[in-house]
Structure 1
Amino acid sequence: MNTLKTSLLGYPRIGENREWKKALEAHWAKKISEEELLQQTEEIRLKHLQKQKDKGIDLIPVGDFTLYDHVLDTAVMFGLIPDRIQASGAKTSLETYFAMARGNKEAAASEMTKWFNTNYHYIVPEYSKGKMSLNENKPLQAYREAKDKLGIEGKPVIVGPYTFIKLAKGYEDKELPQFILELLPLYEQLLKELEQDGVKWVQIDEPILVTSITHDEMKTVEFIYKKLNEAAPDLSIMLQTYFDAVEWYEEVMKLPVQGIGLDFVHGGEKTLASLKAYGFPKDKVLAAGVIDGRNIWRADLKKKYDLIQTITAIVPNERLLVQPSSSLLHVPVNVRSESHLDSTVQSALAFADEKIEELVQLAESVNIGDQGKHLFAANETAIRTLAKSEARNRSAVREAVASITEKEAQRTSDFDVRNEKQQSKWDLPLLPTTTIGSFPQTKEVRKARLSYKKGEWSAEKYEGFIEAEIERWIKLQEELGLDVLVHGEFERTDMVEYFGEKLNGFAFTKNGWVQSYGSRCVKPPLIYGDVEFVEPMTVKESLFAQSLTDKPVKGMLTGPVTILNWSFVRDDIPRSEVTYQLALALRKEVEALEESGITMIQVDEPALREGLPLKKEAWDQYLNWAVASFKITTSSVEDTTQIHTHMCYCEFHDFIDPIRDLDADVISIETSRSHGELVSSFEDHAYHNDIGLGVYDIHSPRVPDVEEMVQMIQRGLSVLGPKQFWINPDCGLKTRGESETIDSLKNMVAATAKVRQSLAQKQV
């Protein structure tokens, strides 16, 4: 009998102890040279490849490793380097690369946005006509390195041409054919060189094929792959899709490629139905994504075994690979260091290394036949024990969700009525200035938190330190001239983790880090049980900050949809039900803030849009419960209580209606890297409530000058009324240095004053 083989799509880059992150940040801080950085990251990369080999993966991906972002790698490889970066004085190719990602003193960074519906950020390619060339064949370099140094016959991974084009900016629809015709020869050359070097399989990622592309777009894909196949006819292409079912199944099956990767987890029911209805080409290999590459729970291996049996009835073992549903980039490295967790939770977890073991175990069980099912005993026990736990069966929480009414998701009065009362109460100047919430988390802040967690500091000493930081920054904000202040969030490690630690139903890892953008890693909480409010979470710090100033201080919460989307979520009940549980818990916190006298409250939803399904026909269902959850959280307050929210990078031109439906009194939007594009959205879609369009990019260390921000504000005022326009940075300032934060805010306030003066002169 032919044996079933295993494959991976990608592996976490960051290292078991975030060695990758530490090397990058040491280089940026000029503590290690470029040569030392490259040496250290090579060691990390080879260690990861060796681990996959040792664990028994048959087809190991190479080229998925990066020094910042794999989409940025592709853009640089093809010479798509913006003119402003070329002219910014970077002395080496690596400096140029990092300048595109992070900006420098002379040039702004390229736009950054979310990778499909994940919390991973990619750098948006910027097309410039006639600029492209194949500067270096990175996939070939990765293949040679793995083969020469480890004896691994790797599978080079490449961002697919149509996905790359669709994710890029800088061209109009009429210029798309030109873009394709310029890009295709570079892909053809790249594949020819791989073929000439003896590469057997190359993985070309085309997740764009699971989105709602049109039939005409699918025709373009057919043209592209016809050309690629002609360029390298002896190279086996694995056309890889993930995150959902492909939109045009029959057409994808006919593409001239040698293998097709399909997701049998996300959109898996539709994928399996298409497989049963239309079959699978007899001349192609199916790479079946059967293990969830995006969540951290053990797979039900008995169900996965049965799924594979269903698949093998259509596609025999010799033409089948089993693999995760996506790259393991989206999960932590391994569970080994999580022994502090309750055994019921820990035994139910599977991070990247454990998912590899699950894959190998599944393949082994299929290869030895029905008797292989005995391998699943421990797996079944772990899943069953968690399902029966008290944490997953809180009847009061379930009953509260079941009894939610439509009235609970509506403010008492319309915005116009509320706005008039709030204007009277707050008496803020035109173009009020504020920040998004967090201030720099210095080494001293992190050291103090660690000392407290280790028990080296008493609660009294730690609280005194936090209060001193709050007092210092309240004073700084007043000196800067900001109109609405924040307490700075110095007590919070993370905007999601902080709240999860204070609610029932959450667990936290010690080393469960995943990459968010660049070297920025996050440690998502685990929502493993029913979510329940315990006691007020933010009132103490907010009240202390307000006691120090006559200016309003915003209470700061993370919204229910963001907590959901930035956590690893239980997979035994619908995500909508988990979100309603979160909304009811956070509603109690909003009410506690209001009752204590904090009546300007920000409930951040930076991740609302990233949770959108990839297929537009599923948007309404998601938005209905997502928007309702935000409104359940915020709607029980008085008219005079002003509700703020914040949203991160996303394409807003098709998202104005849901923003309006949130009915927040003030929304701030992270827009500086794509400011003009968002502003143009408001030329076509009127927005009535108050809004702040981020006027400078907090993801870059550069300090924008006053005139730059004046232009940003004036562009916003071209489509928004001055009475509805707030001035703020793009996002929270947690990751920035103190001096650059103060300088940037000083310039922001100065720019606002300049625009106010200009508006006043026009009124005279």
Structure 2
Amino acid sequence: MSVKASSLGFPRIGSTRQVKKSVESFWSGALTEKELLEQTSQVRTGNWKTQAEQGLDIVPVGDFTLYDHVLDHSFMFNVIPKRYEGFDLTAVEQYFAMGRGLQRPAKGEKPAVDVPASEMKKWFDSNYHYIVPEFSPETNFTLNTTKTVDEYVEAAKEGIPARPVLLGPVSFLLLGKAARDAPEGFQPISLLPKLLPVYKSLLNKLADAGAKWVQIDEPVLVLDKTTDSASDYQTAFDALHDDRINILLATYFGRLESNINYVKNLNIQALHIDLVRVPEQLQQVAEAIKDKNIILSLGVVDGRNIWKNDFESSIKIVNKAIEILGSADRVQVSSSSSLLHVPHTVVNEKKLSDQVKDWFSFAVEKCAEISVIAKSINNLDSVKQQLEQNAKSINARREFTKNSNDAVRKRVAEVTPDMYKRQSPFVERRTKQNLNLPKFPTTTIGSFPQTKEIRVARQRLGKSEITETEYTEFIKKEIEGCIRFQERVGLDLLVHGECERNDMVQYFGELLDGFAFTQNGWVASYGSRYVKPPIIVSDVSRPFAMTVKWSSYAQTLTSKPVKGMLTGPVTILNWSFPREDVSREISSRQLALALRDEVVDLEKAGIRAIQVDEPALREGLPLRRADWQEYLNWAVDSFRLATAGVTDSTQTHSHFCYSDFNDIFESIKKLDADVITIENSKSDSKLLKVFETQSYTNEIGPGVYDIHSPRVPSEEEIYARIKEMLQYIPAHLLHVNPDCGLKTRQWKETEASLVNLVNAARRARAEFAQ
């Protein structure tokens, strides 16, 4: 009898972000398509070998991607909207056009291309974004590529113990949306009978290639929406059954709850559950399948956080599963989810102290942890040394966390109800906020392009190649350039551009007490956009002002109002790796008090508009509706605690992107921000429909164009969006702005887009003057 070690997926970015560099070089024309595929193939093969070398018995293949794994899936099954066809594009160009849009003039016999990107949405409650599949009754499912088969064959030739990974058919359809031209009432799940034969064809090809197992991810099983999906799942897994290939049905991020009542009867040979997020579901699930011939894969190593695994705790869970199921052969040890949500390896961290470094485990180390846990069951003596060292590490970390900051804890305990409230209601505040803005005021969300010169200056400062004074003068010139640019294009409410910031969360983490930072802890967010989340290691406080210097300087350069720009407490929390020893609520309230001090100081410095962004507010919402209210209560409280310390004359703003705004509309209202801006353009303006049935009395700026694509929207396109918004939002409340910050864009496209935005707003101003 033996327990197998496996993972559900691995980071795709490369140990030194090679994939980002290759993909962006291809986009810029510096790499050919052949060179792109050759370079990224090396990373993919390296990932497999690394996992095998760390001791995994089963290595996932097919999870590698150049942009997004859901986009890969859509492309493989020919779910390609018609707008991306007919432009004489290669397969790779068409694929990237779906992910990021494409705009280029006609060249020779090649026609001009101008297509926007597909909608992008958060992957459950993570900061990873996926490209939303689009379905209609005319969707023609075929095997457009055999990517998964090809990668399995490639891995097998390398001697890798490979298990192909597929997004399951039900999740694929439920995570998609009806295409714009689909008939009213059309539901993508109705296409399941058309889709299944193509899945079956793919499984046949995998079996022909020698695959004995396939991992089919069905993460929607942890959502409320699948409570009534028993017949769909039964249909799907009956159709996919093949005696030649076994199926591992993988769930993650949440609990199966009552869905186990039908999942246990599916034609599957193994089931994976997340026991990091929901350890208490082990008893229910194991009891449900103990009389079935189903292997249970235990997600005991955290795929979402970076803390070292507590072997003692994990081994107890594995032994409990074996006790219930009656055999070690019926148990596998695995990561709770794909490891794409954590950095590549701790080995690349050269500046962390030995004490801090010993707390962490990244993807490579997590694979080794999975192996050790499995080996501890199979042959305890073979890993005795690793178990002893792990126990020392866990105890050292616990000793450190006992040293709390009593002043921070006391301040949180002394928060009063009045600290969550502005002085007056919005209707009264609005009359005191004299910013001299016209109707349909134009603004941006905060950041402007981070040029190579800015990044080089930051690197040179870090290497002490320039002094702090020289860096400050450089940043001042960049800020002045941003202000003059905004004045030139005609924006009304300005920003300082955030050129001094490496990232909207990392920047604040580096200035607050209670955080640790990595050099190379990069994690995929979307496409080639990677972030380096800070790590909350202890109680959080603000030792000094963080942004006042730069915002105040920017305001001295112009007579127009300049917004102070902060990242909100809930977003800092959700886009960091949180502590395990205290609740997220406690960390959020500590962050809120630190930001409250900054907001008050900005007002004292003469900043009359302050934006506290909460793009991750919806992201942090629990996956089961029964758990929502507790989270929303403390999340809303945190925002209000951070922003309510100013007088009525200061205008507070907040921004939400990919927020499924309609889901949490009442909570958005409770934030009581004077102005909110929301992502809107990529989601076909569906977020606006809430205003047909719900009132919103504060000011709002639904985004008028997508900043995640290099495509430049025309003035006419933006004007049409403004007119559409006026069907839902009163003119006196409407702001005009992009979907999100402009950090990742180039200056040329930024200027062209904002000129069109300003001109469109002026047209609306003239037409709707009354």
The TM-score with structure 2 as length reference comes to 0.96
For the Cα contact (< 8 Å) 1:253–1:281, is it kept in 2?
no
Matches of 1:391 and 1:718, distance apart in 2: 56
For the Cα contact (< 8 Å) 2:270–2:295, is it kept in 1?
yes
For the Cα contact (< 8 Å) 2:222–2:253, is it kept in 1?
yes
Residue 109 of structure 1 corresponds to which residue in structure 2? Answer: 117
Residue 100 of structure 1 corresponds to which residue in structure 2? Answer: 98
Residue 30 of structure 2 corresponds to which residue in structure 1? Answer: 31
For the Cα contact (< 8 Å) 2:375–2:382, is it kept in 1?
no
Residue 649 of structure 1 corresponds to which residue in structure 2? Answer: 658
For the Cα contact (< 8 Å) 2:441–2:492, is it kept in 1?
yes
Residue 561 of structure 1 corresponds to which residue in structure 2? Answer: 570
| 1:433 pairs with 2:423 | no
For the Cα contact (< 8 Å) 1:487–1:542, is it kept in 2?
yes
Structure 1 unmatched ranges of 5 or more:
none
Partner residue of 2:531 out of 522, 533, 537: 522
| 1:119 pairs with 2:127 | yes
The one-letter code of the counterpart of 1:159 is L
Partner residue of 1:299 out of 305, 309, 333: 309
| 1:3 pairs with 2:2 | yes
Deviation at 1:173, TM superposition (A): 4.8
Residue 705 of structure 1 corresponds to which residue in structure 2? Answer: 714
Residue 249 of structure 1 corresponds to which residue in structure 2? Answer: 260
The one-letter code of the counterpart of 2:321 is I
The one-letter code of the counterpart of 2:82 is D
| 1:64 pairs with 2:76 | no
Deviation at 1:281, TM superposition (A): 4.1
Residue 72 of structure 2 corresponds to which residue in structure 1? Answer: 73
Matches of 1:603 and 1:685, distance apart in 2: 24
Q: How does 1:532-681 map to 2 (within 5 A)?
A: 532-681=541-690
1:415-458 CA deviation, whole Å, 9 max, x = no partner? 11111222xx2231101100000011111111111111110111
Matches of 1:276 and 1:508, distance apart in 2: 39
The TM-score with structure 1 as length reference comes to 0.97
**Quick one: structure 1 residues 300 and 502, their matched pair in 2 at CA, closer, same or farther if it must change by over 3 Å?**
same
Matches of 1:146 and 1:542, distance apart in 2: 53
Deviation at 1:489, TM superposition (A): 0.5
1:319-356 CA deviation, whole Å, 9 max, x = no partner? 11100000000000100122311322110000001111
Q: Say which SS state the counterpart of residue 79 (structure 1) adopts.
A: coil
Matches of 1:32 and 1:561, distance apart in 2: 40
Residue 376 of structure 2 corresponds to which residue in structure 1? Answer: 365
Residue 198 of structure 2 corresponds to which residue in structure 1? Answer: 186
Structure 2 unmatched ranges of 5 or more:
104-113
For the Cα contact (< 8 Å) 1:85–1:107, is it kept in 2?
yes
Residue 162 of structure 1 corresponds to which residue in structure 2? Answer: 170
| 1:51 pairs with 2:61 | no
For the Cα contact (< 8 Å) 1:675–1:712, is it kept in 2?
no
Matches of 1:391 and 1:605, distance apart in 2: 30
How many residue pairs end up in the alignment? 753
Matches of 2:599 and 2:631, distance apart in 1: 24
Matches of 1:462 and 1:701, distance apart in 2: 29
Q: Say which SS state the counterpart of residue 593 (structure 2) adopts.
A: helix
**Quick one: structure 1 residues 22 and 432, their matched pair in 2 at CA, closer, same or farther if it must change by over 3 Å?**
same
Residue 239 of structure 1 corresponds to which residue in structure 2? Answer: 249
The one-letter code of the counterpart of 2:568 is G
For the Cα contact (< 8 Å) 2:615–2:659, is it kept in 1?
no
Matches of 1:16 and 1:214, distance apart in 2: 37
For the Cα contact (< 8 Å) 1:483–1:551, is it kept in 2?
yes
Residue 110 of structure 2 corresponds to which residue in structure 1? Answer: none
For the Cα contact (< 8 Å) 1:513–1:523, is it kept in 2?
yes
Deviation at 1:376, TM superposition (A): 2.0
Residue 494 of structure 1 corresponds to which residue in structure 2? Answer: 503
The one-letter code of the counterpart of 1:531 is V
Matches of 1:310 and 1:518, distance apart in 2: 40
Tell me whether 182-191 or 447-456 shows the greater mean CA deviation: 182-191
Deviation at 1:275, TM superposition (A): 3.2
For the Cα contact (< 8 Å) 1:536–1:589, is it kept in 2?
yes
Matches of 2:720 and 2:751, distance apart in 1: 20
Matches of 1:214 and 1:190, distance apart in 2: 25
Matches of 1:684 and 1:703, distance apart in 2: 33
Q: How does 1:80-479 map to 2 (within 5 A)?
A: 80-87=79-86, 89-105=87-103, 106-130=114-138, 131-148=140-157, 150-170=158-178, 173-176=185-188, 178-229=190-241, 232-247=242-257, 248-269=259-280, 271-275=281-285, 277-315=287-325, 316-369=327-380, 375-389=386-400, 392-422=403-433, 425-479=434-488
Deviation at 1:752, TM superposition (A): 0.4
**Quick one: structure 1 residues 370 and 38, their matched pair in 2 at CA, closer, same or farther if it must change by over 3 Å?**
closer
For the Cα contact (< 8 Å) 1:392–1:528, is it kept in 2?
no
| 1:695 pairs with 2:722 | no
For the Cα contact (< 8 Å) 1:365–1:375, is it kept in 2?
no
For the Cα contact (< 8 Å) 1:244–1:267, is it kept in 2?
yes
Residue 728 of structure 1 corresponds to which residue in structure 2? Answer: 737
Deviation at 1:463, TM superposition (A): 0.4
Matches of 1:344 and 1:169, distance apart in 2: 48
Deviation at 1:370, TM superposition (A): 7.9
Tell me whether 279-288 or 751-760 shows the greater mean CA deviation: 279-288
| 1:484 pairs with 2:496 | no
For the Cα contact (< 8 Å) 1:441–1:735, is it kept in 2?
yes
Deviation at 1:720, TM superposition (A): 0.2
Deviation at 1:555, TM superposition (A): 0.3
Q: Say which SS state the counterpart of residue 685 (structure 1) adopts.
A: coil
The one-letter code of the counterpart of 2:249 is L
1:278-300 CA deviation, whole Å, 9 max, x = no partner? 35344111111011110000011
Q: Say which SS state the counterpart of residue 682 (structure 2) adopts.
A: helix
Deviation at 1:670, TM superposition (A): 1.3
Matches of 1:276 and 1:204, distance apart in 2: 20
For the Cα contact (< 8 Å) 2:57–2:161, is it kept in 1?
no
Matches of 1:606 and 1:272, distance apart in 2: 33
For the Cα contact (< 8 Å) 2:570–2:616, is it kept in 1?
yes
Deviation at 1:374, TM superposition (A): 5.2
For the Cα contact (< 8 Å) 1:345–1:528, is it kept in 2?
no
The one-letter code of the counterpart of 2:610 is I
Aligned-residue Cα RMSD (Å) equals 1.5
The one-letter code of the counterpart of 2:153 is R
